[in-house]
Structure 1
Amino acid sequence: MKKIDVRDAVGMKLCHDITEMRDGFKGVAFKRNTVIRDEDVEHLLNIGKRHVFVWDESVMEVHEDDCALRLAAATAADGTHYEGPSEGKTVMTADREGLFIVDTDLLNEVNRIEDVTVTCLPNHYPVSEGMKLASMRIVPLTTKEENILRAESLCGQRHLFELLPYRKMKVGIIITGSEVYHGRIKDRFEPVLRAKLKKYPAEILGVTLCDDDVSMIADAARDHLAGGADFLIFTGGMSVDPDDLTPSAVRSLGAEVLSHGMPAQPGNMTLTAYLGDVAVLGVPGAAISLPVTTLDVLLPQIFTGRKFTRGDLIRIGCGGLCQRCVTCHYPNCTFGRY
C-alpha cells in the first residue's frame, strides 16, 4: 500500500476501512476496496482524512483483514467459531461450555512476531457458550507475508487454543469425622458439594458418612469404585493433626498423591490424587464457609478428564491467593489463574 494525498486518490481503491465519528455515532464511512470518487474528496477532508492509503500492487504485503482471517484459521479450536473480520480483527467465540486452555509459551512466541497481536482469556478459564475467548489482528494496515507465514507455521505444530468439553462423571462422596458420623453435629459438606457439582455433568452415586477410621473410609471408597465411580471426593480430616486420617485412607487405596497441601488460599490443605484414571480430591473445611476455594479451581479440569500434573498444582501459586471480595465475582478475578 502507499500513502497518498486524498485529492490525488480519485479512481484508486482504499486498502482499509475509514471510520467516521459524529454526534455520538461511530461507524464505517468508506469500506476497504472502495474506489474514491470526486464527490468523496470533500467528505474525506471533513472527517480529517487529508491522506489515505491505497493499494500499491508492487509491494508484497497482506492486508489486515486477510491477516486476521489467516490467524483465525491457524488458531481454530473445536467447539468455537470466529466472527469477523471487523476493523481488522477476528474474535473467537465459544459454542459450548468447557475449560479454555492456552499454550502460553506458544502465545508468547506468536506475539513476538512483528506486527502480530493475539489476545485471549487466561489459561484454565471456565467458560460458557457465547463467551468471547480470543481476538487477533495486526497492528498496521498491512504486514509482510513472511510474518503471517511464521505465525501459521508455529500454530501448525501444536494447538494455541483448546476448549475442552466437560464429560459426565460418576461421583462418590465420602464424608469423614466422628462428630458427624455419631450425629453430634449436622454435616454441612453435602449441600455444598451438591451445589458445586450441579454446574457439571455429575452423577452422584451416593454420600457415605464415616468415622475417623482408616479402614472404614477406605472401604467406603471401594464401594463407590465398585459402583462405577470415576471421581471420589473426601471431606474432613484433611489437616495435619494426628487424628486427621483421610489422607492416610487415600494412600491405603494405592492412590498416587500429587499434592496434600497446595500453594493456594483458601483451601491450602486440599489433597489431589489419582487412583488409576479415577480423580481423587480431599476437600478441607474452608469449602463449607467460603464461596470459592481451591475446589472451584480444580473442578473444571477434573470434569474435562484432563489429568493434573504436580507442575500444574505448583503453578497455581501465582494467582492462588483469593482476595475474599465482599461480592464474589469468581471466575472473573485473579484467583485460580494458572
Structure 2
Amino acid sequence: MIKLSIDKAVGKPLAHDITRIIPGKSKGPAFKKGHILSKKDLAVLRDMGKSNVYVFDPDKGYIHEDNAAKVLAESFQQKWFTLEGPSEGRFNIKAQINGLFKININLLTFINQTETIICSTIHQNTVCFEGMTVAATRIIPVAIEESEFWPIVEEIRDKGPLLRLLPFSRSKVGVVATGEEVSSGRVKDYSLDILSLKVQSLGGKIISHQICPDEKKAISRAIRQMAKDGCDVIITTGGLSVDADDVTLDGIISSGAKLISYGSPILPGAMFALAYMGDIPILGIPAALFYYKATVLDIFLPRAMSGDRVTREDIVRLGHGGLCLNCPKCTYPICPFGKG
C-alpha cells in the first residue's frame, strides 16, 4: 500500500473505501475500494479535506480490510453464530440461537494487543437471543500485509475458539420452596409466580414444585426426588440466613450434593448457596428473590441452564460488579450488575 497525493493517485486503484460524512444527514463511502481515481474526483476529495490517499503497491501481497475482517470473524467461532458485513471494513458476529455467551478472555487480550487487529464484544456470560450482535472485528489499517496477517490468524485458530454460545439445553427445572409459614398455608408461596417467567425466558419449564417445612430431612428428600425425576436444575427458595429455623443449607448438604459455595459477594444475594448433585446444579436462592427484581438468581440461572459449571472462584470474582444499584426503574440486564 502506497500513500500518494491525490493528484499523483489519478489513474490508480484506491486501496480502501473513503468515507464521507455530512453532519446530521449521512455517513457512507464516497469512493469504494478499487475505484480508479479520475481528475473529476479531485474536487470531491478536496471538499472532504483529503490531500492524500492510499493505493495498492503492486509489488506486495495485501489483504484488504473487508477480506481480513471476514477471515477473522470466521476464525473467532465455530458454530451457533452468523456473520454480517462487510461495512466500512467491519464484520459483525451475531447469535444464531438463544444461549449463554462465553469468551476466551486471554485470547481476546492477545488479539487486541497485536496493534493491527481488534475485536470488540459484549460482556462474558450475557444471555443472548437469536439475531443479537455479540462481537465485531476489523483491522486497524485499510490493508495488511499477508506475511503479517496469516501467522496471527493461525495462532487465533490454534488457541480458539475465541467465542462460544452455550444453548440453554437444561430445560427441566425443579423448585423446592421452604418455610413453615408457606408449608402451613399461613403465607402464600410466591416462588412459582417469580421463577416461572425467569425459567420460561430461557426456554425452560418447571416440571416439579414442592413446598417443604423447615426440616432438613424433608428438604433433602425433595431434592433427591427431583433429581430422580429428571430435573436438570434444582432451585431452593428461602431458609438460607442465620436464623435458628433456617435449615435449607443443611437439607442441601444432607441430600448428598457437593457444596461448592455458601455466601457470595453479590448484593442482593449474599446468602446464595451452590451445590452439585453429579452434574445437576442446585441453586440455593435467599429470600431477596421475593423483593428485588434482579438478584443473584439472574446471574446464575442462565449458567445453570446452559450447563456452564460454576466454581467458587467464579463466584468470588463477581465481587467486582456484584452490587445492584437498586435503580428506581430497573433495566436489568442492560446494566452493570453481575458484569464482572
Q: TM-score, normalised by structure 1?
A: 0.95
Amino acid across the alignment from 1:36: L
Amino acid across the alignment from 1:264: I
Specify whether residues 147 and 263 from structure 1 end up closer, same or farther in structure 2 by C-alpha distance, changes over 3 A only.
Answer: farther
Secondary structure at the aligned position of 1:296 is classed as helix
Secondary structure at the aligned position of 1:302 is classed as helix
Aligned to 2:133: 132
Aligned to 2:202: 200
Q: Within 5 Å, give how 1:233-312 maps onto structure 2.
A: 233-312=235-314
Worse overlay, 38-47 or 77-86 = 38-47
Q: TM-score, normalised by structure 2?
A: 0.95
Structure 1 runs (4+) greater than 6 angstroms displaced = none
Residues 233, 305 of structure 2: 8 Å contact kept: no
Residue 16, structure 1, aligned to residue 21, structure 2 = no
CA–CA separation in structure 1 for the residues paired with 2:315 and 2:153: 31
CA–CA separation in structure 1 for the residues paired with 2:329 and 2:155: 41
Secondary structure at the aligned position of 1:39 is classed as helix
Residues 93, 134 of structure 2: 8 Å contact kept: yes
Give the CA deviation at 1:164.
Answer: 1.1
Residue 143, structure 1, aligned to residue 144, structure 2 = yes
CA–CA separation in structure 1 for the residues paired with 2:335 and 2:174: 30
Q: For residues 120-140 of structure 1, give each alpha carbon's deviation from its aligned partner in whole angstroms, at most 9, with x where no partner exists.
A: 101111111111111111222
Amino acid across the alignment from 2:112: N
CA–CA separation in structure 1 for the residues paired with 2:189 and 2:204: 21
Residues 173, 231 of structure 2: 8 Å contact kept: yes
Identity %: 37
Residues 100, 124 of structure 1: 8 Å contact kept: yes
Worse overlay, 143-152 or 25-34 = 143-152
Q: Within 5 Å, give how 1:1-338 maps onto structure 2.
A: 1-22=1-22, 24-157=25-158, 158-338=160-340
Matched pairs, number: 338
CA–CA separation in structure 2 for the residues paired with 1:214 and 1:21: 68
Worse overlay, 109-118 or 52-61 = 52-61
Amino acid across the alignment from 2:121: C
Residues 289, 297 of structure 2: 8 Å contact kept: yes
User: CA RMSD for the aligned pairs?
Assistant: 1.6
Give the CA deviation at 1:185.
Answer: 1.6
Q: For residues 261-289 of structure 1, give each alpha carbon's deviation from its aligned partner in whole angstroms, at most 9, with x where no partner exists.
A: 11111011111110001110111010110
CA–CA separation in structure 1 for the residues paired with 2:298 and 2:309: 16
Residues 77, 163 of structure 1: 8 Å contact kept: no
Q: For residues 304-337 of structure 1, give each alpha carbon's deviation from its aligned partner in whole angstroms, at most 9, with x where no partner exists.
A: 1121122211221111111111111111111111
Secondary structure at the aligned position of 2:188 is classed as coil
CA–CA separation in structure 1 for the residues paired with 2:115 and 2:148: 6
Give the CA deviation at 1:146.
Answer: 4.3
Residues 75, 161 of structure 2: 8 Å contact kept: no
Structure 1 unpaired stretches of 5+: none
